[in-house]
């Protein structure tokens, strides 16, 4: 039974990739948001699905326990459990979904399935310490993460139209693969961002995909970068060390240009006054800088969530869960996780 006079406590669970996270929200207020990362993948240069599933198994109980303690509530006060049902790594999703189902069944409370990508968008509706204004519908949203790159027209909380998406690698994946080529650890995005601060973005040129629509492609850029480095290393084995900052700045420039060119194109076609960035790559300083230039050009109000809410976290899952709770959009135990948005 839903009591509309009381703002419900929603427990969110996120386990789609390599972060095990649990959060408690009360409406759009975050009471706790606990994230256990998985350092094990760093030595492999990317997420190893089997290792991720095992780490989720180890982390899920302590992470949920800590989230409840930090929120200052007991499990009996939770009104519903929202969890990521996809897209993501199937083994990882199964850990979170089995846990959520078991807990909801045990507590006899509703179960709410959440789409990971839509939750990234709704991270912008969580209350922040700075009390930033929430975006106004309709708005354009660029979701850029390690697994996904999407340009959306968001009509309301539940109506998100995909205008464009990557046809191969995601933007975060492009950062991570470029970092691997440079011999950097995973996740490479933040490292490239940091190195690039002292580099010349115009020093090296690579090829950027020219798709006619609003879709993105990064695999050609990655190959162009790979071959360029391979050839230079033949001439000079110290080429990477001697040019690391310029290489980081140049590859970052090209990845971000691929994104901002499409954003520019979308803004010319679709009128809107609000633009939102979401996903892990939204933390990138060059993207944020370019976004502000676009904001100036098109007179936009830009919303970017605080850093802790741009990367994978369960607060965004719980937030989406809250909006679904108000609509009584609950699921039964038969619902199965999906790994890709095409399923
Ligand atoms: O949203 P997220 O935490 O997980 C996924 O859903 O994938 O995004 C992680 C991705 C990684 O590829 C990581 O390298 C990238 O976001 N990332 C960055 C930065 N911070 C995180 N990429 C570029 N610059 C950053 N500052
Ligand atoms: Zn994500």
Q: Ligand 1 pocket: which residues have CB below 6 Å?
A: 17, 145-147, 172, 175-176, 187-190, 193, 279-281, 283-284, 311-312
Whether 294 has a pLDDT exceeding 70, the answer reads yes
H/E run at residue 266: helix 239-269
Whether 2 has a pLDDT exceeding 60, the answer reads no
| Alpha-carbon gap, residue 177 to 146, rounded angstroms | 10
Which ligand 1 atom lies nearest to the CA of residue 147? 7
CA of 116 to the centre of ligand 2 (A): 6
Q: Are strands 149-156 and 159-165 parallel, antiparallel or unpaired?
A: antiparallel
Q: Which residue has the higher pLDDT, 313 or 343?
A: 313
Whether 256 has a pLDDT exceeding 80, the answer reads yes
C-beta atoms surrounding 132 within 10 Å = 14
The band of 147, judged by pLDDT with boundaries at 50, 70 and 90, is: confident
The band of 3, judged by pLDDT with boundaries at 50, 70 and 90, is: low
| Alpha-carbon gap, residue 98 to 335, rounded angstroms | 11
User: What's the average model confidence in pLDDT over 157-169?
Assistant: 95
CA of 92 to the centre of ligand 2 (A): 13
- Closest to 187 (Cα-Cα) out of 202, 172, 197: 172
Residue-wise pLDDT tens digits, 216-254: 999 999 999 999 999 999 999 999 999 999 999 999 999
Predicted TM-score (pTM) of this structure? 0.89
Choose which residue among 92, 166, 280 to substitute to test ligand 1 binding: the one with the highest number of ligand atoms within 8 A of its C-beta. 280
Residue-wise pLDDT tens digits, 49-107: 888 889 889 999 999 999 999 999 999 999 999 999 989 899 999 999 999 999 999 99
Percent share of the chain, pLDDT over 90: 78
Whether 1 has a pLDDT exceeding 60, the answer reads no
Least confident of 48-62, 139-153, 178-192: 48-62
Least confident of 113-122, 202-211, 303-312: 303-312
User: What's the average model confidence in pLDDT over 156-185?
Assistant: 95
CA of 117 to the centre of ligand 2 (A): 7
| Alpha-carbon gap, residue 253 to 258, rounded angstroms | 9
Give the residue, by CA position, lying nearest to ligand 1 atom 22: 189
CA of 297 to the centre of ligand 1 (A): 26
Q: Name the average pLDDT for the chain.
A: 93
- Closest to 13 (Cα-Cα) out of 93, 90, 78, 96: 96
Percent share of the chain, pLDDT over 70: 97
DSSP secondary structure letter of residue 300: P
The band of 4, judged by pLDDT with boundaries at 50, 70 and 90, is: low
Whether 13 has a pLDDT exceeding 60, the answer reads yes
| Per-residue model confidence (pLDDT) at position 224 | 96
Tell me the CB-side half-sphere exposure of residue 203, using CA atoms within 13 A: 16
Which ligand 1 atom lies nearest to the CA of residue 170? 12
CA of 173 to the centre of ligand 1 (A): 8
Q: Is 341 exposed, middle or buried (0-12, 13-18, 19+ CB in 10 A)?
A: middle
All residues at 6 or more sequence positions from 15 whose CB lies less than 8 Å from its CB, including other chains: 21, 56, 60, 83, 84, 88, 92, 93, 95, 96, 97, 99
Question: How far is residue 83 from each of residues 26, 70, 164, 239, 306, measured CA to CA in Å?
Answer: 16, 19, 26, 46, 22
User: What's the average model confidence in pLDDT over 275-296?
Assistant: 93
Concatenated DSSP letters of 87-100: SS-HHHHHHHHHHH
CA of 311 to the centre of ligand 2 (A): 6
| Per-residue model confidence (pLDDT) at position 342 | 67
Q: Are strands 301-303 and 274-278 parallel, antiparallel or unpaired?
A: parallel
Whether 116 has a pLDDT exceeding 60, the answer reads yes
DSSP secondary structure letter of residue 184: P
Identify the nearest ligand to the CA of 279 by its number. 1
The band of 340, judged by pLDDT with boundaries at 50, 70 and 90, is: confident
| Per-residue model confidence (pLDDT) at position 128 | 85
Q: Which residue has the higher pLDDT, 191 or 187?
A: 191
Whether 148 has a pLDDT exceeding 80, the answer reads yes
| Per-residue model confidence (pLDDT) at position 343 | 59
Whether 305 has a pLDDT exceeding 90, the answer reads no
> Do 167 and 215 meet the contact criterion of CB atoms below 8 Å apart?
yes
All residues at 6 or more sequence positions from 48 whose CB lies less than 8 Å from its CB, including other chains: 40, 41
Burial 185-207 (b: 16+ CB within 10 A, else e): ebbbbbbbbebbeebebeebebe
| Per-residue model confidence (pLDDT) at position 5 | 63
Length reported for the chain? 343
């Amino acid at each position: 039974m839903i009591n509309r006079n009381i703002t419900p406590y929603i427990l969110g669970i996120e386990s789609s990739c390599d972060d095990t996270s649990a959060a408690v929200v009360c409406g759009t207020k975050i009471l706790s948001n606990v994230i256990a990362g998985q350092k094990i993948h760093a030595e492999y240069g990317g997420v190893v699905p089997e290792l991720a599933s095992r780490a989720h198994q180890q982390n899920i109980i302590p992470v949920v326990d800590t989230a409840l303690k930090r929120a200052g509530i007991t499990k009996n006060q939770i009104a519903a459990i929202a969890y990521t049902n996809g897209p993501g790594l199937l083994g990882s999703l199964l850990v979170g979904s089995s846990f959520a189902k078991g807990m909801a069944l045990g507590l006899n409370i509703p179960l709410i399935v959440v789409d990971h990508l839509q939750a990234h968008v709704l991270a912008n509706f969580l209350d922040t310490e700075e009390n930033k204004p929430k975006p106004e519908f309709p708005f354009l949203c660029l979701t850029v993460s390690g697994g996904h790159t999407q340009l959306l027209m968001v009509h309301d909380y539940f109506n998100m139209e995909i205008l464009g998406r990557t046809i191969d690698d995601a933007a975060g994946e492009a950062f991570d693969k470029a970092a691997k080529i440079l011999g950097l650890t995973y996740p490479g995005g933040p490292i490239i961002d940091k190195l690039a601060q002292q580099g010349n973005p115009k020093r090296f040129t690579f090829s950027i995909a020219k798709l006619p629509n609003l879709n993105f492609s990064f695999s050609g850029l990655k190959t162009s970068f790979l071959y360029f480095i391979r050839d230079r290393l033949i001439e000079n084995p110290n080429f990477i060390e001697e040019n690391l900052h310029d290489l980081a700045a140049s590859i970052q420039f090209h990845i971000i240009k691929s994104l901002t060119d499409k954003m520019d194109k979308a803004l010319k076609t679709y009128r809107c006054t609000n633009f939102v960035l979401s996903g892990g790559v939204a933390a990138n300083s060059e993207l944020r800088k370019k976004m502000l230039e676009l904001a100036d050009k098109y007179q936009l109000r830009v919303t970017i969530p605080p850093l802790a809410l741009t990367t994978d976290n369960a607060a965004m899952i719980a937030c989406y869960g809250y909006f679904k709770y108000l609509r009584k959009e609950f699921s039964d135990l038969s619902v199965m996780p999906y790994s890709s948005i095409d399923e």
